[in-house]
Structure 1
Amino acid sequence: MHIQDTHWSTASAVAPGAGAMGAAAGNGRADESRAARTTPLRVDAQRNLEHVLRAAREVFGELGYGAPMEDVARRARVGVGTVYRRFPSKDVLVRRIAEEETSRLTDQARAALGQEDEPWSALSRFLRTSVASGAGRLLPPHVLRVSVGEDRTAGGSETVDPRVPQQRTQTDAAELRLVPDEAAVLTPGAADEDGGAAALLEVVGRLVERARAAGELRPDVSVADVLLVIATAAPSLPDAAQQAAASARLLDILLEGLRSRPA
């Protein structure tokens, strides 16, 4: 299992050898990289990009976002210079992968909402699809830094570990907010990232509320808990068949823990 917070800050480093001038130019290069995403590529360049993105998903999913760019290049069977030409810093590549995985989870949640009439079936379908896809291993940490309402107890202020999703009961999806990440605020593309995370929280919140209203979900289960299930039920194992079996078994156990039981 990789809860990616430990490795995320490592991924923010500018490409090796860039120096002070490279760091100062980081914003401009990130802008150029985003613009390049909308520019048509030659067939060979497009193929290399697809290989790099596939390799990055595999490497980061197995080793966390702290894995070096050299590992990504080796898995993609391209030179590391090819990776840096498309993604001028590791941070740009990491955020591209995290953005795509967040979007994929959002699409899976919407599909479950639209294709399942029963609230519990919709929630469990979303969880099974998401875990099977391995997206949980690539969830960015700011998505897991979910807080609800005011982080206060009856006796006053409460110190909260920002790495852990906060637990609350009877949570309305509209009350969810992301715990600010000061590093992300200063990073190019952070606004788009937060927008993708907000969309994911909104649609998963609808799944949770439906299942809770139907009396099929424990009343103390929050959206943060559901996202944590996705992150923890997708272990990274060297054998694909063993990994699939372990994920399915673990998810069955976690689903039993989420479900409401008659008193």
Structure 2
Amino acid sequence: MHLEYAKLTSAAAAEGGTGRAAPLRVDAQRNLEHVLRAAREVFGELGYGAPMEDVARRARVGVGTVYRRFPSKDVLVRRIAEEETARLTEQARAALGQEEEAWSALARFLRTSVASGAGRLLPPQVLRVQPHDDPEDDAARVPQQRVRSGEDAVLAGVLRDHAASAAAPTPTPAPAAPAAGAGANDAIEEQDGIRTLLDVVGQLVERARAAGELRTDVSVADVLLVIATAAPSLPDAAQQAAASARLLDILLEGLRSR
């Protein structure tokens, strides 16, 4: 069993550890698509702490098939988080380009993102809350992310912290590690994706604030937190859609200036 596992993880490491290195046979491509779809569903329902065995079970493949493409859960989590970050970025760009009214653009982005369930798959570090002694301090109230004052410094801190955590070894049972430098390159790509998302959402926030439609204390972090909060995972699809829509209506009212 351990020998077979080593062979699987070594093969994945030889491909660069990203699950996207080489063209695949039709059946292998189909299995990869099943795994990615299952991972989005499982992580969306249970969070990124869900085990790889649950992903394999949902994809109806052996766990060895999952590890053949993703040598550790960290690699799979990064892949899903990157895809969701890119999807949110495109939704924000579409709202910016197709809505003339500032509030309509921000509301469209939020509704589209919540409806897609992307909030349940945001990169965990985007929603990390920093503890603070003063409950009235803005830095304690919102996740450590872009805020109105010192935006670049705060963003740099988030990306620096995430780069350190991404480069650190993860406690997995895999006996083989990804190729040298692969983890660092993945971390850089992930940072670039997060930076782009923050910049585009920041444009939506600034437009709405400049138009007097958005509360002056609302940050990019608050908007991302709304997306995560308004995307509950419920067993019934109709109930989930209704709950998300209702919760988002309430949250949008909370964001608007009076």
Which of the five TM-score ranges fits, normalised by the shorter chain?
Answer: 0.7 to 0.9
Q: Work out which of the residue numbers 8, 16, 30 in structure 2 matches 1:32.
A: 16
Q: Which amino acid aligns with 1:46?
A: Q
Aligned position for 1:70: 53
Displacement, 1:200?
Answer: 0.4
TM-score, normalised with respect to structure 1: 0.79
For residues 145-198 of structure 1, the C-alpha deviation after alignment (integer angstroms, 9 at most, x for no partner) is: 489xxx9x9xxxx8x66x951599745865650522332243612111111100
Aligned position for 2:65: 82
1:184 and 2:173 matched = no
Residues 85, 119 of structure 1: CA spacing in aligned structure 2 closer, same or farther, 3 A cutoff? same
Query: Contact 1:102–1:139 at 8 Å: present in 2 too?
Result: yes
Equivalent residues in 2 for 1:104-143, closer than 5 Å: 104-143=87-126
Q: Which amino acid aligns with 2:107?
A: S
1:47 and 2:30 matched = yes
Displacement, 1:144?
Answer: 2.4
Query: Contact 1:168–1:220 at 8 Å: present in 2 too?
Result: no
Count of aligned residue pairs for this structure pair? 231
Report the identity percentage: 76
Residues 201, 17 of structure 1: CA spacing in aligned structure 2 closer, same or farther, 3 A cutoff? farther
Residues 95, 17 of structure 1: CA spacing in aligned structure 2 closer, same or farther, 3 A cutoff? farther
Q: Distance in 1 between matches of 2:15 and 2:68?
A: 13
Q: Distance in 1 between matches of 2:154 and 2:99?
A: 24
Q: Work out which of the residue numbers 225, 234, 237 in structure 1 matches 2:234.
A: 237
TM-score, normalised with respect to structure 2: 0.80
Aligned position for 1:225: 222
For residues 62-81 of structure 1, the C-alpha deviation after alignment (integer angstroms, 9 at most, x for no partner) is: 00111111110110011111
Q: Distance in 1 between matches of 2:92 and 2:70?
A: 29
Residues 214, 225 of structure 1: CA spacing in aligned structure 2 closer, same or farther, 3 A cutoff? same
Gaps of 5+ in 1: 1-15
Aligned position for 1:259: 256
Q: Which amino acid aligns with 1:33?
A: G
Query: Contact 1:108–1:126 at 8 Å: present in 2 too?
Result: yes
Runs of 4+ in 1 over 6 A off after TM superposition: none
Q: Distance in 2 between matches of 1:58 and 1:171?
A: 37
Aligned position for 2:143: 165
Q: Distance in 1 between matches of 2:39 and 2:207?
A: 35
Gaps of 5+ in 2: 170-182
